[in-house]
């Protein structure tokens, strides 16, 4: 399925699902409690994202000072940002997804999946011993400039 078609389906189906869930919950508990629940989940979610974000920032700082790879921490931050976006969007389905992304072990597992899928393998690179055995000749001109 082309990416553009997938994006279009997501943009159409997510709001429809959210509207459906809001209507169902609203008919069960009432309009005001439903709105209040949406507001509370947004505020609570933003506070949790803020706290975890500061913790992540401190971890990135320590990793940077130790000159350790930052890829996993940066992906963790991207998922945390996505959680914040999902929690700010009104609705129960996006709030559920946002709160799931706030669970650190789940986020770490997702980061590991992404890292495994994005590992770039070098293609056509020869080992140093092979390079010495078959030198390439590059033609060109040069000029020596003395200081």
What single string gives the DSSP state of each residue in the chain?
--HHHHHHHHHHHHHHHHHHHHHHHHHHH-HHHHHHHHHHHHHHHHHHHHHHHHHHHHHHHHHHHTT---HHHHHHHHHHHHHHHHHHSSSHHHHHHHHHHT-HHHHHHHHHHHHHHHPPPP-SPPPHHHHHHS-------------
Domain residue extents for the chain: 41-117
Work out the mean pLDDT of the chain and round it to a whole number: 85
pLDDT for position 122: 47
Q: What is the dihedral of CA 51, 53, 55, 61, to 10 degrees?
A: -150
* Selected residue with higher pLDDT from 3 and 29: 29
pTM of the predicted structure, to 2 decimals:
0.71
pLDDT for position 81: 94
Residue 1 banded pLDDT, cuts 50, 70, 90: confident
């Amino acid at each position: 399925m082309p990416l553009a078609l997938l994006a279009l389906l997501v943009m159409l189906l997510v709001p429809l699902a959210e509207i459906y869930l809001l209507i169902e919950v609203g008919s069960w508990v009432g309009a005001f409690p439903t709105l209040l629940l949406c507001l509370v989940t947004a505020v609570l979610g933003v506070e949790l994202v803020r706290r975890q974000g500061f913790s992540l920032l401190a971890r990135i700082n320590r990793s940077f000072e130790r000159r350790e790879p930052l890829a996993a921490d940066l992906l963790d931050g991207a998922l945390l940002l996505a959680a914040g976006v999902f929690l700010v969007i009104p609705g129960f389905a996006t709030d559920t997804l946002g709160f799931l992304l706030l669970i650190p072990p789940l986020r770490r597992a997702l980061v590991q999946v992404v890292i495994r899928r994005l590992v770039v393998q070098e293609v056509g690179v020869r080992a140093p011993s092979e390079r010495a055995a078959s030198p390439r000749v590059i033609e060109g001109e040069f000029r020596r400039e003395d200081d």
